[in-house]
């Protein structure tokens, strides 16, 4: 990888990890998820970076993609486990990392299972390794703690302006003989649960990606589409980022639904464990090297 690109990767990775730790430190009983999100995202922007995606603050059985709404009143509960998934961006280089905060400390084995699985997976990463072997390492570790890996979530390639590139890195031995190549940037992302080991989509959706400018009729929707195309043409965005001062919930979400119907947006719904089991997550972005890897989000 060229030196300039490598410098940017390390820079964005470092900022992503710093922002992740700051956000995780705010996860305390009674804290509003919206306040945590706004504060963490403002921190990244104030440092001169963009956001790779809206911060995810997914509690308990919710595994991923929960980001607060613009008027969200949800607070952190005393027995919650919160998955904090976050990343900074600059010049199309995207960070991606995650940590699980166990508020009550009653789910430490579950959290530890994903943290150790991430470490063990990272130890297997190198140019030429089959992704199923990474998945096998994750599955073995999580199972040794008495939990299940979430099979329909996993790691992924990360490319410029493409957070989830085509490469999929499983959390179990799925038999995929696709190999990692030198200079690939990838996210390793173990999820563990005491539930069924699968996630399903909720009706809740606060994160979207711009697809293209479809035909819309209302002025509110046209104005919103213009704003999205200008400010969020590549990376996912949160509905709350589109909320102009004084706009009503009805007007905001009606415009979003019109854009969705027009084919202008792709939704990223909240993902919930199928058996309502608790879920933990750990994630790091890596650079694949000939003989191993470099952790970028540190």
Q: Which of 61, 85, 258, 294 is catalytic?
A: 85
Q: Is 164 a catalytic residue?
A: yes
Instruction: Tell me the C-alpha distance between 205 and 207, whole Å.
Output: 6
Instruction: Look up the pTM and report it.
Output: 0.96
- Asked if 85 is an active-site residue, the reply is yes
- Our CA angle for 168, 295, 209, nearest 5°, is 45
Does residue 120 have an active-site annotation? Answer: no
- Say if strands 271-273 and 155-159 run parallel, antiparallel, or are unpaired: unpaired
Per-residue pLDDT in tens (0 to 9) along the chain, 298 residues? 789 999 999 999 999 999 999 999 999 999 999 999 999 999 999 999 999 999 999 999 999 999 999 999 999 999 999 999 999 999 999 999 999 999 999 999 999 999 999 999 999 999 999 999 999 999 999 999 999 999 999 999 999 999 999 899 999 999 999 999 999 999 999 999 999 999 999 999 999 999 999 999 999 999 999 999 999 999 999 999 999 888 999 999 999 999 999 999 999 999 999 999 999 999 999 999 999 999 999 9
CATH architecture of the region 3-201+275-295: Alpha-Beta Complex (3.90)
Query: How much is the mean pLDDT over the chain?
Result: 97
User: Does 235 participate in catalysis according to the annotation?
Assistant: no
Catalytic (active site) residue 156? yes
The percentage of the chain sitting over the pLDDT mark of 70, rounded to a whole number, equals 100
Q: Which residues does 64 contact at the CB level (< 8 Å), separation at least 6? A: 56, 58, 83, 85, 153, 191, 199, 270, 271, 281
| Residue of 80, 139, 273, 283 with catalytic role | 283
For residue 211, CA distances in Å to 177, 259, 266 come to 31, 10, 6
Question: Which one from 50, 61, 139, 156 is the annotated catalytic residue?
Answer: 156
User: Domain residue spans in the chain?
Assistant: 3-201+275-295, 207-267
142 and 114 Cβ atoms separated by less than 8 Å: yes
Q: What is the CATH number of domain 207-267?
A: 1.10.10.10
Distance CA(280)–CA(103), nearest Å, equals: 12
Catalytic residue among 164, 235, 273, 294: 164
Active-site residue 96, yes or no? yes
């Amino acid at each position: 990888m060229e030196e300039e690109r490598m410098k940017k990767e390390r820079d964005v990775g470092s900022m992503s990890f710093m922002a992740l730790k700051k956000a995780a430190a705010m996860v305390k009983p009674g804290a509003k998820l919206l306040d945590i999100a706004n504060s963490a995202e403002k921190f990244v922007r104030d440092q001169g970076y963009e956001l790779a995606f809206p911060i995810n603050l997914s509690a308990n059985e919710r595994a991923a993609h929960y980001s607060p709404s613009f008027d969200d009143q949800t607070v952190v509960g005393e027995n919650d486990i919160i998955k904090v998934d976050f990343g900074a961006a600059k010049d199309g280089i995207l960070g991606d990392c995650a940590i699980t905060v166990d508020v009550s400390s009653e789910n430490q084995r579950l959290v530890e299972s994903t943290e150790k699985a991430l470490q063990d997976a990272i130890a297997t990463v190198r140019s030429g390794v089959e992704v199923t072997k990474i998945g096998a390492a994750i599955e073995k570790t999580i199972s040794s703690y008495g939990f299940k890996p979430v099979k329909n979530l996993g790691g992924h390639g990360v490319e410029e302006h493409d957070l989830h590139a085509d490469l999929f890195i499983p959390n179990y031995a799925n038999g995929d003989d696709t190999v990692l190549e030198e200079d690939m940037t990838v996210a390793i992302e173990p999820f563990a649960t005491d539930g069924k080991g699968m996630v399903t989509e909720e009706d809740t959706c606060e994160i979207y990606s711009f697809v293209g400018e479809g035909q819309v009729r209302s002025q509110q929707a046209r104005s919103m589409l213009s704003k999205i195309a200008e400010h969020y043409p590549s990376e996912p965005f949160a509905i709350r980022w589109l909320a102009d001062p004084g706009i009503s919930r009805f007007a905001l979400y009606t415009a979003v639904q019109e854009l969705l119907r027009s084919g202008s947006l792709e939704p990223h719904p909240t993902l919930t464990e199928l058996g309502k089991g608790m879920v933990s997550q750990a994630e790091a972005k890596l650079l694949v090297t000939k003989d191993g890897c470099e952790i970028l989000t540190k």
